[in-house]
Structure formats: C-alpha cells, structure tokens
Amino acid sequence: MPNVNEAQNAGTPLNASLEAGIDVLSLSQEVVFTQYQREVLPLDGFIFWLRTSTTKTIQGSLHYSINSEQREDESIALRSVIFTAREQVDDLAAIAPNMLWVAQVDEDYYAFSQQGNFYEQAGIYHYQGFAVWPAMQSQLIDNINDLNPGEAVVSNSLPFWLTLNAIMPVYPSFLIPQDIRPPYAAIHIDPATTRAIQAAPLLDYELSHFQLTQETVKITMYGVRNNEALDYLDYICQYSLSSDAFGIMNMPVVRDEKRTQSETTTIAQKKSIEFEINYYQTRLNNETRQFILKTIQNYIINPL
C-alpha cells in the first residue's frame, strides 16, 4: 500500500515529468551506499566510522561540482554533491546519527549532511553533501583491526579532562554529540597555547620521551547554575592537588557567558573556566591508561 506522499504524488504531472527527467539524465543510475558505525575512542573522544557489512542500493541521480583549492598543508579538489532520489531516504537525513551512509563512486566517498529544495508536489528529494576530504578519510575505518582503542590520537592534555566527569558529562570541543541537552561541559585546548617549558625532552634508558608542556584549557559549561559551576571548579583544583597528572599555573575563576536566541528572548545558562596548566606528555599517556582501568574518584564539596 502506498504511503501518503506516494498517493499524493503518484498522479501529479510535475512528479511524473521530473521522475522521467531523472531517469534520462542518470540513465537509471543506481548508487550503492555502505553503512558505517560511529565509534568514539575512550581516551580522547576522537570519532571514527567503522565500516559494516550493510549496504543499500538507491536509484537516483548523482551530480557534483569541483572546486580546486591550494592550501598551506594540502592541495584539494572539493567535490560538492547533490543526490536526487525519487523516494525519501530517511537514513540520509537522520538527526544525531550513530550510523553514517557513505556512497562510493569510482575512488571517491560521498557523505551527506543536508536535505533541501523539497516541494511536496514534485515528490523529488535532494540530498546535499561533500566528498570525504583526503585528510578525513583516515576517520573511515574499513577493517576493525585498524581501530586501536587503547592509543590516544591527541598529544595534549585532553584525556585528563575527559576523565573529570563526576559532576557532568564532558566532551572535546567540536565533537559534541548533536542536539544533546545540558548540563554538559566542552573542553577546548587552543593549539597555539601548547608549548614546551623544558629546554629539551628527556629520553630515559628505554628511550621514553618526557616533555614538560604548558597549555591553556577553556571549559565551557551549559545548563549549570552558580553552585554547580563552583563545585566543578573545586573538583578540578582538588584533583590537581591530590595527583601528579597536571599542575595549575593561574588563578581560575568561573565566568558568565552570554548566548542569546531571539526566538525565546532568553540567554543560555552558559559559563566558562580557563586554566593554564603544565604536565608531562608521556606521563599523560601512562596515566590515562590507568584512569580507564579504575573508577574515577568522586570529590565531596562541603558548602560553607
């Protein structure tokens, strides 16, 4: 039995004409999509997509444009793509997906992030995206043996901060799960602030590398009030004093931030704390492996 959209559009002259045009332009092209599963490294929150054995074939027209760019660290052909389908493909427009559908055409992989230009009378669906950039293709894993959950990707202090989640969930900046509700905290480490404060790294008899490092860490919190924010600050300071993971070099304080939305005429419960810290990068890797093997300590804050 046809669904509502199919029943409405089946007899529409515009729909029939457009579908015929798609068949002519694409020569009845069929595009194979492969499903990838979202995997998050427990050490540093890095996201990878692991290939599964699930595929689906969808009839439609795939057309793209190419814009070449020469950058400091790569020369890249940016391929934007529009996939025009005769039927709605819910998986390509999913919100906060744990699965990613990737189309492979020749040597290029295409992923989609937007559905647009839809008219119900036309009954044609357009999905827009980009070819997966060469620098990002390492995040698509075809063989599970290439995914090592026991080795961090980042070289900074991020893994420490992700373990300090007793009061609220903590995520790396730019890797916040889509549309999550507060409370939560985002950890941002400005790469420009990561620098050595030791003349040269120390190599021990096993050639282990020890580098005393300094950097600035900004924590942005949503959905917390004053007491919770101060408890979180005290929680981090007590942890720094009771462990040798990192030292705090500044006098951190909770700041109120302003984020507005005109539709609600309100401001968000947004706060931030900025830390200047020092740590040993090699010690970071050793400590992190220990953190994930034991329960994270909970600190009890006694109010005055």
DSSP state of 181: P
CA distance 101 to 83: 13
13 lies in a domain? yes
- Domain tally for the chain? 2
Q: Looking at per-residue confidence, does 53 or 290 come out higher?
A: 53
Of the candidates 87, 80, 79, 81, the residue with the CA atom closest to the CA atom of residue 118: 87
Which residues are CB-contacts of 22 (< 8 A; sequence separation ≥ 6)?
60, 61, 84, 86, 124
User: For the domain that residue 258 is a member of, what is the CATH number?
Assistant: 3.30.2000
Residue whose token pair is 């070819």: 131
Q: Examine the domain organization and report whether 279 and 179 are in the same domain.
A: yes
Which tens digits make up the pLDDT trace of 81-128?
Answer: 877 776 666 666 555 568 888 888 777 788 876 555 444 444 467 677
Residue 42: pLDDT over 80 = yes
Q: Examine the domain organization and report whether 108 and 216 are in the same domain.
A: no
- The residue out of 146, 173, 204 marking a domain boundary is 146
Q: Examine the domain organization and report whether 47 and 74 are in the same domain.
A: yes
CA distance 108 to 114: 19
Q: Examine the domain organization and report whether 119 and 194 are in the same domain.
A: no
CA distance 151 to 163: 15
Q: Give residue 75's domain range.
A: 4-146
180 lies in a domain? yes
Yes or no: say if 128 and 116 are a contact pair by the CB < 8 Å rule: yes
The least confident of 54-58, 102-106, 136-140 is 102-106
* Most confident listed range (14-18, 88-92, 294-298): 88-92
CA distance 48 to 42: 11
Which tens digits make up the pLDDT trace of 157-215?
Answer: 999 999 999 999 999 999 998 889 999 999 999 999 999 998 888 888 777 888 899 99
Which tens digits make up the pLDDT trace of 144-158?
Answer: 888 888 888 899 999
Token pair of 212, please? 């005393």
Q: Examine the domain organization and report whether 163 and 140 are in the same domain.
A: no
Token pair of 225, please? 């009030």
Q: Looking at per-residue confidence, does 135 or 236 come out higher?
A: 236
Share of the chain above pLDDT 90, in %: 39
Residue whose token pair is 């939560």: 184
pLDDT band at 9 (very low <50, low <70, confident <90, very high): very low
CA distance 70 to 73: 8
Q: What was the pLDDT predicted at 75?
A: 87
Q: Examine the domain organization and report whether 126 and 177 are in the same domain.
A: no
- The residue out of 146, 172, 188 marking a domain boundary is 146
Q: Examine the domain organization and report whether 195 and 263 are in the same domain.
A: yes
Q: Between vectors from CA 201 to CA 199 and to CA 206, what angle results, nearest 5°?
A: 155
Q: What was the pLDDT predicted at 290?
A: 42
- The residue out of 91, 123, 146 marking a domain boundary is 146
25 lies in a domain? yes
